[in-house]
Amino acid sequence: MITTLTRSIIGISLCGFLFLGTSLATEPVEIGNFIKSRIEIGEMMTSFFKGGKGYGDGQRPSPEAMREMGMDINRKVSALLATHDLTIEKYRQHSPEVFADDAAVQAYLNEHPDLQKRYEALPLDRMGHSGGRRGYKTGKD
């Protein structure tokens, strides 16, 4: 038979877990910022490398040109992320957990059909993903 004390402890523990779970849930605004960022980064990178122009007529660039290209991409991505109150570091740290919540991402996209169309148009093969989710490889895929 369960005592009143045991019931109280169980009740308090469950409330704590429920509170913790809801406090850690990603906010819709944050989900929106990450989705918009992912879309814009994907579109920017597709445009950047379209037709191999990022590699100079299809030829592999020199190591120096690769460094310059990397710095240029980082500058552009940083500027893009700043419009969504994000940094590259914050985006890299939090995007795996934001995009792991498929239900929240899909709910947001369902509310924004224009973004959903752009999101679904992202090229999975060039974004380092072999799975069904869109985005960059996180090391957990």
Residue-wise pLDDT tens digits, 100-135: 999 999 999 999 999 999 999 987 654 444 344 444
Residues 6+ apart with CB under 8 A from 102: 133
Average confidence (pLDDT) over 6-11: 54
Q: Has residue 16 been placed in a domain?
A: no
Q: Has residue 114 been placed in a domain?
A: yes
43-85 pLDDT, tens digit per residue, is 998 887 776 555 555 677 788 988 998 899 999 999 999 999 9
Domain that holds residue 36: 27-126
Q: Has residue 139 been placed in a domain?
A: no
User: What does the alpha-carbon distance between residue 108 and residue 95 come to, in Å, rounded to a whole number?
Assistant: 15
14-49 pLDDT, tens digit per residue, is 544 444 443 345 577 889 999 999 999 999 988 877
Residue 139 pLDDT: 42
Q: Has residue 101 been placed in a domain?
A: yes
Phi, psi of 110 (to 5 degrees): -65, -30
Q: Look-up: residue for tokens 């929240």?
A: 104
Q: Has residue 5 been placed in a domain?
A: no
**Number of structural domains in the chain:** 1
Using the predicted structure, report yes or no on whether residue 86 has a pLDDT greater than 70: yes
Enter the pTM of the model: 0.66
Q: Has residue 15 been placed in a domain?
A: no
∠132-134-140 over CA atoms, to 5°? 75
Q: Has residue 80 been placed in a domain?
A: yes
Q: Has residue 111 been placed in a domain?
A: yes
SS3 category, 1: coil
Residue 114 pLDDT: 95
